[in-house]
Amino acid sequence: MTNQNVVVPGATPANTVAAAAKPPVLFPYPPPRGGGASAAAAIRKKHLSQVELPESWTNSWLESMKASSPIHAKVAASAAAVPIIEREQNEHSAWIVRHPSALSKFEQLMRATKGKQIVMFLDYDGTLSPIVDDPDSAFMSDAMRAAVKEVAGCIPTAIVSGRCRSKLFDFVKLTELYYAGSHGMDIEVPKGTKYTKKVHKALSEKTKPIPGAKLENNKFCVSVHFRCVDEKHWRVLVEQVWLVLKEYPMLRITQGRKVLEIRPIIKWDKGKALQFLLDSLGFADSKNVLPVYIGDDLTDEDAFKVLRDRGRGIGILVSEFPKETNASYFLRHPSEVITVTSCIIIQTDGSLCAGCEIADVIF
C-alpha cells in the first residue's frame, strides 16, 4: 500500500489573517474589476466612518472571496481563450491523478484500514447537507441521516462544524455522535469568547444595509455569510467587517465557502478539534486507529493537514471543482458521501463491498 491515503505533496492550509491595524497582503492578485460601482459607492458613502482602510488588505479579501466562488470561477473560465481552457483541462486531469475519487479507489482506501479501528469525522455544510443560500435551511436528507446513524452504530463518529453545537444537533438530531461545534471550540472553552456577542451586535448594525448579508452567532465565532450578496457589494462588506474587527485585536478573520468567520486568535481549529477528539476517545497515540475525515470547506484543511502530518489517516474533500487541498481523495457531492459511508459500513461488517461496482455506475 502506498502513501496515497496519507500525504499530498504541495498542499497548502486554509488562509487566515489576524485583525490587525495593518493587515498583511495575503493574495498578490490584480485589483478587482469595475462594475456596479454606483450602487456599491452609495452604500459605502452612507455607512463607512472616517477611518481609512488598508486598500491592499481589502483587495486581498475581495480576490479571495472571488476565488472561493465556483460560479465566479466558471464565468472566468468561459471567457478565457481556448488555449487557456485546454490548459485548465490538463490541470484538472492532473489534479484527479493527485486526488482520485474515493469511490473509484475504494478498494485501495479500504486496504489501508485493514486491521485498524476506523474513526469517522464529518463536516456538516456541503458534506452532509447541500450548500444553500439560507444557512438556516441547510437540512440533511433522511437518507443521509440514516447513513450517518448507521455508520455511528459501527464506528466512532464525530461531526466537526463551524456552527454552534446546539444548532448542529438541531440539524442532525442523532444522539449516537460526538459533536464539535464552532470549529471545535465548543469542546473546550477558549479565552476571548466573551467578545462574541458584542461583535455579533456590531456586525449586525454594520452589515444590515448590505442586501443579502446574513450573520450567524455560533457561540465561539461569528459567521458573515455573503452567498446572497451581489459581488458589487463585497468590497463594502469586507470594509464593514474590518471596521468592527479593528476594535478587537484579540479576534481574527478566516474565510470559508462564501462565508467570513470571525473568531478568537487562539491555536484552535478543526485540526485541533480532531486531535482533541482522538485523545478523548483514547486513540491519540494508537497506531491501530485510522481517522477518516470528510469535508468540503477551507476550514477543513486544518484537519486534512493534521492527518497528513500524522502520516496516518484519510482526508476526503467534497468538491465539484479542483482546488488546492491537503486531502488525498475527493467526492463530488454529498450523495457520494452516503455511498462511501454505506460501503465502509458493509466493509466493517465483514461483507463484500460493492464500492467498485457503485463507482462504475456513477462514473
Residue positions annotated with a catalytic role: 123
Amino acid at 97: V
Taking the CB of residue 332, how many other CB atoms lie within 10 A of it?
A: 15
Torsion region of 257: left, alpha or beta (phi above 0 gives left; psi -120 to 50 gives alpha):
beta
The residues facing 259 across adjacent strands are 225, 256
Rg of the chain over Cα atoms, rounded to whole angstroms, equals 21
302 grid coordinates:
486544518
- Residue pair 329/23 in contact (Cβ under 8 Å)? The answer is no
Backbone angles phi, psi at 180, to 5 degrees: -125, 100
- No. of helices (H) and no. of strands (E), the chain: 13, 11
Nearest-angstrom CA–CA distance, 56 and 6? 36
Amino acid at 275: Q
50 grid coordinates:
472616517
- Residue pair 241/260 in contact (Cβ under 8 Å)? The answer is yes
Taking the CB of residue 133, how many other CB atoms lie within 10 A of it?
A: 12
Amino acid at 242: W
- Look at the alpha carbons of 262, 17, 272, 143 in this order and tell me if their dihedral is positive or negative: positive
47 grid coordinates:
455607512
The residues facing 157 across adjacent strands are 120
Give 14-61 as a DSSP string. --EEE--SSPPP---PPPPP--SHHHHHHHHHHH--SPPP-HHHHHHH
The residues facing 117 across adjacent strands are 289
84 grid coordinates:
487557456
